[in-house]
Amino acid sequence: MVVAQKKFLGDMNTNKKYAIMLYLSGGDGPKVKGFGALEHHESTSVVLPEGMPKDAIDNTITDVVSHEFFHTVNPLKTHSEEIHYFDYADPKMSQHLWMYEGGTEYFANLFQIQEGLINKDQFLERMGEKIANSKSYDDTMPFTVMSKNVLVEPYKDQYRNVYEKGALLAMCLDIELRKLSNGEMGYRDMIRKLSQRFGENKPFKDDKLIDELVTVTGYPQVKDFYNKYIAGNQPTPYAQYLSMVGVDIKKQESQPLFWFIKNPNETDFDQKTNAFTFDDHSALSPFAKSIGFKITDQVLALDGRTVDIKKVQDFIGYTRTIKDGQDVTVTILRDNAGKKEKMTLKGKAILDKMTMETLSFKANPTPEELKLQTQWLTGKK
């Protein structure tokens, strides 16, 4: 992974040393509130659950550590004054999380396809998941405004979209640049030039970044893209951009389902409490919202049927029999200032549909689309 990253970055990478500190959190060790990693100039500290299978740990480390390592480029070495003179007591935020986090997350996926760690279909699947996940957030909230105000509501709630829509904005800008330059220049080249113009000890002015990007790329169209989709409130036309690189988006609607979150795949099981738990960035289903369910609540039982991991199919089977408008009783565990409290919530069932958008390579792309696709996925000119 590190060798592939160094190849991908070329002369943008100046690290002589980099340490990866991994803490696998088990049941008995210090209490861990969340999993993930934090970037530093020459190291990253990673926290993952010890109970994860080894393969899953390997894959997660590739995704998470590569993301943190790419932060050595952005924002650690290329950043605005807000980051350079960061005031920990009274933080002033930058407008550019789309680049610091989104661009970094895009790199963490792009280097894997360009360096052969994943295949073309796996890469598309990842981008498709980001499109699906981004739908849980406000698509018309300008990313620069969210970024600048991310410490307060309602912007705070949208933060995790930097890893979804943020990465997709970088992807579309990559395609836009390649289209404009006949494949010669991509997002990575733009960041490289920006990092050469600025660097670790020379921050840029936050509101001048877009003018700097026009200067380093030589394309004023970059500013139009920025004004519409990053600083503006227009949803990014993913289908239009993906079509330029020979990729189709197909929409499919799922059967109406009864569940607590919009995407049932983001459900987990807590072995200690014998309850279903949900990813904290998942969107609640209309039913869950209507009964005052919180994303951090755990589901112990439904209409008196307790959750048993050995008979999970029976439980799922029961949810399939639930009809729209039917009375439903949910037994939950709610965290109340560190104490888990058992509670009962009641309401009428609302069945919900999920729209799945699957990305696939066009069977018959035009020669122009195919050329751009190859340049996009290989990084070669």
- Which parts of this chain interact with Zn ion (CB under 5 A)? 101
Decide the pairing of beta strands 43-49 and 267-270: unpaired
Angle between helices 2-9 and 54-70 (to 10 degrees): 30
Nearer to Zn ion, 107 or 258 (CB): 107
144 within 8 A of 96, measured Cβ to Cβ: yes
Nearer to Zn ion, 23 or 361 (CB): 23
Nearer to Zn ion, 101 or 206 (CB): 101
Q: How far is the CB of 170 from Zn ion (least distance, A)?
A: 13
Spatial separation of the C-alpha atoms in residues 106 and 202, rounded to whole Å: 24
Nearer to Zn ion, 32 or 38 (CB): 38
Q: Could you check whether the bond before residue 154 is cis, i.e. omega within 30 degrees of 0?
A: yes
Q: How far is the CB of 304 from Zn ion (least distance, A)?
A: 43
Residue 116: DSSP 8-state = T
Task: Give 128: exposed, middle or buried? Use CB within 10 Å, 0-12, 13-18, 19+.
Answer: buried
Q: How far is the CB of 270 from Zn ion (least distance, A)?
A: 27
Nearer to Zn ion, 167 or 194 (CB): 167
175 Cβ partners below 8 Å, 6+ apart? 241, 242, 244, 245, 372, 376
Determine phi and psi for 141, rounding to 5 degrees: -80, 120
Q: How far is the CB of 71 from Zn ion (least distance, A)?
A: 6
Q: Which two tokens stand for residue 77?
A: 């070495």
Q: How far is the CB of 245 from Zn ion (least distance, A)?
A: 25
Spatial separation of the C-alpha atoms in residues 123 and 9, rounded to whole Å: 19
Spatial separation of the C-alpha atoms in residues 183 and 373, rounded to whole Å: 9
Q: How far is the CB of 25 from Zn ion (least distance, A)?
A: 20
Q: Which two tokens stand for residue 243?
A: 């079509």
Q: Which residue has its beta carbon closest to Zn ion?
A: 101
135 within 8 A of 90, measured Cβ to Cβ: no
Q: How far is the CB of 261 from Zn ion (least distance, A)?
A: 24
Spatial separation of the C-alpha atoms in residues 64 and 77, rounded to whole Å: 19
Nearer to Zn ion, 99 or 354 (CB): 99
Q: Which two tokens stand for residue 82?
A: 């807000």
Nearer to Zn ion, 40 or 334 (CB): 40
Helix (H) or strand (E) holding 269: strand 267-270
Helix (H) or strand (E) holding 248: strand 247-253
Which strands form 43-49's sheet, in the order they lie side by side? Answer: 19-25, 43-49, 36-39
Q: How far is the CB of 262 from Zn ion (least distance, A)?
A: 25
Nearer to Zn ion, 101 or 189 (CB): 101
Nearer to Zn ion, 46 or 185 (CB): 46
Q: How far is the CB of 75 from Zn ion (least distance, A)?
A: 9
